[in-house]
């Protein structure tokens, strides 16, 4: 049984004319794209409203002209327009981006697609060229790159300044130790050997000198510890925060001795971090909690983790004396204290050190408190296993500069 083949429907001449007219009107009405035809030699044979809006020429002015007129002189001299037509003829279509020239001589950034047109025999009969003005996007990209370059430069300058400041602080603190030891030592000799022969008021003065020298010694130690944290390179590995907290509690046994403390340690995760630095951060936070719960008959210190706004947040909470949030901006400053020295001992460096550690982990730290109702310290940690690659990809020159500077300083310290 033979199949009956349907005869192809051949449109009439009038239908073809109407279809072509509709297509022509459609192309002519497009305003966001320059759409025009070129003959096989590259001369303009049609021109739509979008082409006039983007390039500035009217159809009467440009039809018949060679399309190389739209290219800067350097491109014309290099034969770029003709090369684009050859590539489009060989591959069927060709895409390009670059500067083009408007009628008034101004430049715009063009996104261009040139498509070869062939008849039913495969003969080249011309090209259709579609151009879009991407000048705003190009300028925005340029501004972003400029801002990034400026930011990178400022980051390099800030990094260098910070490292110089840290080195200076470390050097000053280190050099202060020797004369301070002499002051303390000679004052102690005077007090021990000649104290009985001195007036009572002079003995009080000596005791004040010894007390202040001892306090200054502790300040220097804390300052050196803070600068060591800032200078220390972060070494990431997996760490069980629960074990780190339990070890910190054991380490602080001496500070908690004789106290009634209820420890509430939650289920803490394993994270990628620098275990040594995070251990120091928890020790400082827990030592803080032990100190400021001294007035409580039973101190309650809670350590845990929560989800807040889709982010994992770690916390240390206590039922101590708290503080007024009005002064929270001073909380993480070096040598800044929320309570008088005669109420609670300390130098005001512990929380500054914790902040540096958290920042080195790509996180942030903050606190919530109320006078006589305790305080809670919150902090976040970024994943250190993904931070280096991302940072290098974004600002490789900054990271490399920091590494070189660190190596240079380490070499200098080894030599000295």
pLDDT per residue as tens digits for the range 157-182: 776 666 666 666 666 666 777 777 87
Q: Are residues 114 and 149 in the same domain?
A: no
Pick the last residue of a domain from 215, 231, 247.
231
Q: Can you tell me the distance from the alpha carbon of 173 to that of 335, in angstroms, rounded to the nearest whole number?
A: 14
Q: Are residues 103 and 145 in the same domain?
A: no
Is 196 contained in some domain? yes
Structural domain harbouring 123: 13-133
pLDDT confidence of residue 33: 87
Q: Are residues 99 and 144 in the same domain?
A: no
Nearest to 237 by CA among 284, 184, 189, 278: 278
DSSP 8-class letter at 70: G
**Structure tokens belonging to residue 278:** 């995070």
Is 47 contained in some domain? yes
Is 289 contained in some domain? yes
Query: Per-residue b/e over 56-94, b at no fewer than 16 CB within 10 Å?
Result: bbeeeebeeebbbbbbeeebbeeeebeebbebbbeeeeb
Indicate which CATH number applies to the domain containing 55. 3.30.450.20
Is 294 contained in some domain? yes
Is 292 contained in some domain? yes
Indicate which CATH number applies to the domain containing 166. 1.10.287
Mean pLDDT, all residues of the chain: 80
pLDDT confidence of residue 73: 92
Indicate which CATH number applies to the domain containing 301. 3.30.565.10
Q: Which residues, given as ranges, of the chain have pLDDT below 70? A: 1-30, 159-174, 218-219, 221-232, 334-348, 383-416
Edge-to-edge strand order for the sheet containing 365-369? 261-265, 299-308, 311-318, 375-379, 365-369
Is 341 contained in some domain? yes
Nearest to 378 by CA among 295, 319, 302, 299: 302
Is 396 contained in some domain? no
Beta carbons of 322 and 375 less than 8 angstroms apart: yes
Q: Are residues 284 and 374 in the same domain?
A: yes
Q: Are residues 118 and 105 in the same domain?
A: yes
Q: Are residues 69 and 159 in the same domain?
A: no
- Kind and range of the H or E run holding 7: none
Pick the last residue of a domain from 102, 133, 164.
133
Q: Are residues 242 and 369 in the same domain?
A: yes
Q: Are residues 336 and 258 in the same domain?
A: yes
Nearest to 332 by CA among 263, 299, 285, 289: 285
**What is the pTM (predicted TM-score) of this model?**
0.47
- Structural domains in the chain (count): 3
Is 1 contained in some domain? no
pLDDT confidence of residue 198: 82
Q: Are residues 32 and 124 in the same domain?
A: yes
Angle at 301 between CA 298 and CA 304, to 5 degrees: 155
Q: Are residues 114 and 142 in the same domain?
A: no
Q: Are residues 249 and 215 in the same domain?
A: no
Q: Are residues 304 and 325 in the same domain?
A: yes
Residue 271's region, left for phi above 0, alpha for psi from -120 to 50, else beta, is beta
Pick the last residue of a domain from 231, 264, 293.
231
- Measured in degrees and rounded to the nearest 5, phi and psi for residue 38 equal -120, 145
């Amino acid at each position: 049984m033979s199949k009956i083949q349907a005869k192809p429907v051949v449109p009439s001449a009038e239908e073809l004319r109407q279809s072509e007219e509709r297509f022509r009107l459609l192309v002519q009405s497009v305003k966001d794209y320059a759409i025009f035809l070129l003959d096989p030699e590259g001369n303009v044979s049609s021109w739509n409203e979008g082409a006039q809006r983007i390039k500035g020429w009217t159809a009467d002015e440009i039809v018949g002209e060679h399309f190389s007129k739209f290219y800067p002189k350097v491109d014309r001299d290099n034969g770029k327009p003709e090369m684009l037509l050859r590539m489009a003829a060989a591959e069927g279509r060709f895409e390009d981006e670059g500067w083009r020239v408007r009628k008034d001589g101004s430049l715009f950034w063009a996104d261009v697609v040139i498509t070869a047109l062939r008849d039913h025999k495969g003969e080249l009969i011309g090209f259709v060229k579609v151009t879009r003005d991407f000048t705003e996007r190009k300028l925005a990209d340029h501004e972003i790159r400029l801002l990034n370059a400026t930011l990178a430069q400022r980051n390099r300058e800030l990094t260098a300044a910070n490292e110089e400041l840290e080195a200076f602080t470390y050097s000053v603190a280190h050099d202060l130790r020797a004369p301070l030891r002499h002051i303390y030592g000679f004052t102690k000799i005077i007090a021990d050997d000649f104290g009985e022969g001195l007036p009572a008021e002079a003995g009080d003065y000596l005791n004040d000198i010894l007390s202040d020298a001892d306090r200054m010694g502790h300040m220097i130690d804390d300052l050196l510890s803070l600068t060591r944290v800032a200078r220390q390179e972060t070494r990431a590995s997996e760490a069980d925060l629960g074990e780190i907290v339990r070890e910190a509690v054991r380490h602080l046994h001496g500070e908690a001795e004789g106290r009634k403390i209820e420890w509430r340690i939650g289920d803490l995760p394993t994270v990628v971090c620098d275990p040594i630095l995070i251990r120091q951060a928890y020790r400082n936070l827990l030592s803080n909690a032990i100190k400021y719960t001294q007035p409580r008959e039973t101190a309650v210190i809670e350590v845990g983790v929560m989800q807040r706004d889709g982010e994992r947040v770690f916390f240390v909470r206590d039922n101590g004396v708290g503080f007024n949030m009005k002064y929270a901006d001073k909380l993480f400053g070096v040598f800044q204290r929320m309570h008088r020295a005669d109420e609670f001992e300390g130098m005001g460096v512990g929380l500054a050190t914790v902040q540096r550690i958290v920042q080195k982990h790509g996180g942030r730290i903050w606190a919530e408190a109320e006078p006589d109702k305790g305080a809670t310290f919150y902090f976040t940690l970024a994943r250190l296993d993904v931070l280096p690659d991302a940072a290098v990809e974004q600002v490789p020159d900054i990271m490399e500069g920091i590494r070189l500077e660190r190596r240079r300083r380490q070499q200098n310290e080894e030599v000295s």
